[in-house]
Amino acid sequence: MAFQTSSELFEKAKKVIPGGVNSPVRACRSVGCDPVFITKAAGATLWDADGNEYVDFVCSWGPMIMGHAHPEIVEAVTRAAASGTSFGAPTPTEIDLASMVVEALPSVEKVRFVNSGTEATMSAVRLARGFTGKKVVVKFDGCYHGHADSFLVKAGSGVLTLGIPGSPGVPEEIVKNTLSIPYNNEQVLEATLRDEKLDIACVIVEPVAGNMGCVPPKPGFLKKLRALTAERGIVLIFDEVITGFRLGYGGAQQYYDVSPDLTCLGKIIGGGLPVGAYGGKAEIMNCIAPDGPVYQAGTLSGNPLAMAAGIATLKLLQEPGFYDRLEAKAAGFAERLNEVAGTFGIPVQLNRVGSIMTAFFTAVEVTDFTSAMLADTEMYARHYRQMLEGGIYLAPSQFEVAFISAAQSERDLDKAVKMTEWSFKKLVQM
């Protein structure tokens, strides 16, 4: 494939945009190449500025569960835009989408819309602190909850990909109120939450870690977390920005039968447009202004375009058997990838939950941040470049996830399997 136009665009971008990108992982530094610039997408297919075609397994980092430019979603957004794109005032569609979210998630009695997952998690933590009157936030190593100051402690996603140990510009007095403990470690969890000296307001967790790669919770871990937080009067926040409406219509909390106090959402509920949300028990949500003293606001929150796209998407997800079909597709694809890895003797741990998966280049089972760090990032980088050359668009980081969408056909998946065989054969020869 030729990437000349993308290379030229990247050089232009670096002159006016830091690093040439508007989100760090997109720079592709960890995989040893320049990014391709995407100009068009439809279904499961992307086209770049050079006219190259790819089968997409990034899905805009998750929200494109129905594929790109789905006709019903495009129609809903077009219809909404014709009546105005933003009013900074209440609209009927906010109520419609909020009602759908509340109906889908029994733990959510009220919901507030924002513009991103970062806004959702940041606001949920502020709310938990305001509700409890306590300061300390407990998170888990390798879990990423956006780029708000208090979350950049042993974070995943781009921080992990680029090897940044936190971030300059984050005051020590903010970081000192964030504790990061090992994911999937019940002993450390219990010791931390039972520590009387700690002023813990909340625990925030990705119920399935998705930003150090796909790392599922060990059996019983989430239920233990729920029991301990309930016992200690600590607010439990599920960051379901990735898992919400993806593992099932009721998200990870339905999938694992664990009910948090607050839930953060994004990605799918905007149907590909910028959106975020946080919701939970009415007792807690009523602390938000104007009903309560915890302040949060946003001019574009609940904007009509995002609401229209979200409603259209959630209606499509309600089709009977949708998640069963998605699960079967993902399971079959993962099985074929494991067979390829076994054929060539490539040390790969394929972690999958529903339609989310990561192939870690390591012989060690990946269950937490420490084991994820054993993955061979150089081998992944070579694999990424080879797959890109073959028309398969993967995440440009070992520590991100691949997504299966409703739009990917058997032909698309066949191509991905064949290209994986070709790439693994080359890896063995190196």
Indicate the domain borders of the chain.
Answer: 4-57+321-429, 71-317
Order of strands, sheet of 200-205, starting from the edge strand that comes earlier in the sequence: 110-114, 276-280, 262-266, 235-239, 200-205, 136-140, 178-181
C-alpha 398/C-alpha 382 separation (Å) is: 11
Amino acid type, 12: K
Calpha distance 277→270 (Å, rounded) = 10
Backbone angles phi, psi at 82, to 5 degrees: -65, -20
Q: How far apart are CA 260 and CA 106, in angstroms?
A: 10
95 vs 195: CA distance, rounded Å: 41
The answer to whether residues 185 and 368 touch, using CB atoms and an 8 Å cutoff, is yes
- The mean pLDDT value for 195-224 works out to 96
- Residues 400-425 have a mean pLDDT of 98
At the second CATH level, the architecture of 71-317 is 3-Layer(aba) Sandwich (3.40)
Of all residues in the chain, what percent carry a pLDDT higher than 90? 91
CA distances from 329 to 60, 333, 413 (A): 19, 6, 9
What per-residue confidence (pLDDT) applies to 164? 47
Least confident of 175-184, 201-210, 223-232, 249-258: 175-184
Distances (CA, A) of 426 to 105, 387, 421, 429: 46, 11, 9, 5
Q: Do domains 4-57+321-429 and 71-317 have the same CATH topology?
A: no
Whole-number Å distance between alpha carbons of 211 and 339: 25
pLDDT band for position 167 (50/70/90)? low
Q: What are the catalytic residues?
A: 144, 239, 267
Q: How many residues are there in the chain?
A: 430
The C-alpha atoms of residue 334 and residue 330 are separated, in whole angstroms, by 6
Pairing of β 356-360 and β 402-403: antiparallel
pLDDT score recorded for residue 176: 82
Question: Helices 186-193 & 221-232, crossing angle to 10 degrees?
Answer: 10
Asked whether the beta carbons of 209 and 215 are under 8 A apart, the reply is yes
Instruction: Please tell me the pTM assigned to this model.
Output: 0.94
Note the pLDDT of residue 153.
63
Model pLDDT, residue 147: 77
Find, among 398, 397, 374, 386, the residue nearest to 24 by Cα: 397
CA distance 397 to 25: 7
> Mean pLDDT over residues 108-122, rounded?
97
Superfamily of domain 4-57+321-429: Aspartate Aminotransferase, domain 1 (3.90.1150.10)
Q: Where are the alpha helices (DSSP H) in 263-409?
A: 282-285, 304-317, 322-344, 369-372, 377-389
Indicate the helix (H) or strand (E) that contains 224: helix 221-232
